[in-house]
Amino acid sequence: MFNSLSDRLTATFKNLRGKGRLTEADVDATVREIRRALLDADVAVPVVREFTGRVRERALGAEVSAALNPGQQIVKIVNEELVEILGGETRRIRLAKNGPTVIMLAGLQGAGKTTLAGKLSKWLKSQGHSPMLVACDLQRPNAVTQLQVVGQRANVPVFAPHPGATSAELDQPAGDPVAVARAGVEEARQKLHDVVIVDTAGRLGVDADMMEQARQIRRAIVPNEVLFVIDSMIGQDAVNTALAFDEGVNFTGIVLSKLDGDARGGAALSVASVTGKPVMFASTGEGVDDFELFHPDRMASRILDMGDVLTLIEQAEKSWDKDEAARMAKKFADQEEFTLDDFLAQMQQIRNMGSMKKMLMMMPGAQNIRQQLEQFDEREIDRVEAIVRSMTPHERLAPKIINGSRRARIARGSGVHVSEVNGLLERFAQAQKMMKKMAQGGMPGMPGMPGLPGAGGGARKNAKNAPKKKAKSGNPAKAAQERKEAEARRANAAKALPTGAAFGQQGGDFDPSQLNLPKGFDKFLGK
């Protein structure tokens, strides 16, 4: 959403790098670029004027002139002012002390209220609440049916005593939405739902009748929260719309829908500042789970390309399988081999977190590789999973046995080219090496990083003192002699074992065939 704004601001701050002192001309030039970037992003003119005024005043003050790095100090000032313009602090739903918490949704027609009602109910359910949806949009054709479908996807009950208008009954009068809202709150109270979400009808532009209907519903149900749902792509008209709804229904919070769109996103920066009401939630996609609590500080970090690692961690904690994580941790601690089954399990864990593009865009500096991220094909994970699932269990445990004919069979089974199978196996081999180094003593090339618990943090230190393996000779006769000597040493070591030590044998040489090992494993043991 904020890609254009983020690019402009990032380019502006690059000009400040390396400057030990900023002149008034430097500050004026920076503020001028910030003003242009905000206006291009459709931020309201009064908001831009106020924002840049505060930035200029602080940039010319003592906090910048006395700073060791003035450029970074200006970035800090812009970040703090962005947080302030977005609402300052994270605002959560005020829950009712007695009875169900009533949440009323209001906004223009087409802003996404009905879909957002389902997303909000799903989010509240994940927070431990028991929500219920009430269908009060009886004007828009099939709005009630849409809410019922959304409620089914979110696995949340919907109170809809009136079917509302349908495409075949446009001329027939709709039911009484005020009565439906009042009955819905009473139904939730009787069935012990602790949250009621009332979906009201939207309006087109200035519609006094529909606004009066929203006022009547507000008076009838006395909601704890009135959330104004606004399309993030609405542009400069966002301020006028927000002021009209604030005057009409006195909303308590703002929800930004379609925040994943490609518009410039000025609405998010304008509405909260003009109305003085906080942005509480944001809809970030089409799925019922694409919904998140709005954090002004994190959004400001995204705009300035500083990433949003906290949200990324929260998503990981929400979707990560703790049992699988514990199994992998134990595997590292025991220094067991990382297999393709483990690789597949990790891929599925990542898939559960949602879109790879969205996750990667939350990383600091993601704007620098945005073009590559936009070209990333989300179906790549599906292809990788198909390739791994086309392998036999033994091939996943021992990928080195996958020869040319096996690779061709795997490619046919997964519907890809052999080159893609080759590429996956090469990437897996690199991942396997990295995992082995991590288990032996932390990430390579990262000084001070401790090894995993029980992973033998001193393995690397001991490896220095360990005797180096003697290289095999290139002379065939000499190599044959070395093999004979190695076999003799193994035979002597086996004979020296105490009775019963050699897997139940009464001394003597060790026969690997008794272990029922895979074919060819005896050659690995030197037999």
Q: Cβ atoms within 10 A of the Cβ of 431, count?
A: 15
Helix axes 208-221, 177-190, angle to 10 degrees: 30
pTM exceeds 0.95 for this model: no
Q: What are phi and psi of 417, to 5 degrees?
A: -80, 155
**4-16 burial by CB neighbour count: b if 16+ within 10 A, else e?**
bbbebbbebbeeb
Element (H, E) at 492: helix 476-495
Q: Confirm if 106 and 245 have CB atoms less than 8 A apart.
A: yes
C-alpha angle 427-428-433 in degrees, rounded to nearest 5: 100
pLDDT in tens, 185-195: 999 999 999 99
Task: Give percent of the chain with pLDDT exceeding 90.
Answer: 16
pLDDT exceeds 90 at position 104: yes
Asked if 83 and 202 touch (Cβ cutoff 8 Å), the reply is: no
Q: Per mean pLDDT, which of 65-69, 329-333, 473-477, 490-494 is the most reliable?
A: 329-333
Per-residue model confidence as pLDDT tens digits over 6-52: 777 777 777 776 666 777 888 888 888 888 888 887 788 888 888 88
Q: What is the 3-state secondary structure (H, E, C) of 421-442?
A: HHHHHHHHHHHHHHHHHHHHHC
Beta bridge partners of 158: 133
Q: What is the dihedral of CA 495, 501, 505, 509, to 10 degrees?
A: -30
Say if residue 404's pLDDT is above 70: yes
What mean pLDDT is predicted for residues 266-284?
Answer: 81
Cα dist from 74 to 14, 67, 333, 367, whole Å:
11, 10, 46, 20
> d(Cα 235, Cα 218) in Å, to the nearest integer?
28
Compute how many other C-beta atoms are within 10 angstroms of the C-beta atom of residue 208.
Answer: 9
Question: Across the chain, what does the average pLDDT equal?
Answer: 75
SS3 of residue 18 by DSSP: coil
Poorest-pLDDT segment among 222-236, 291-305, 313-327, 423-437: 313-327
Which residue from 89, 29, 80, 25 is spatially nearest to 58, judged by alpha carbons?
80
Q: What is the pLDDT of residue 515?
A: 39
Assess whether pLDDT exceeds 50 at residue 350.
yes
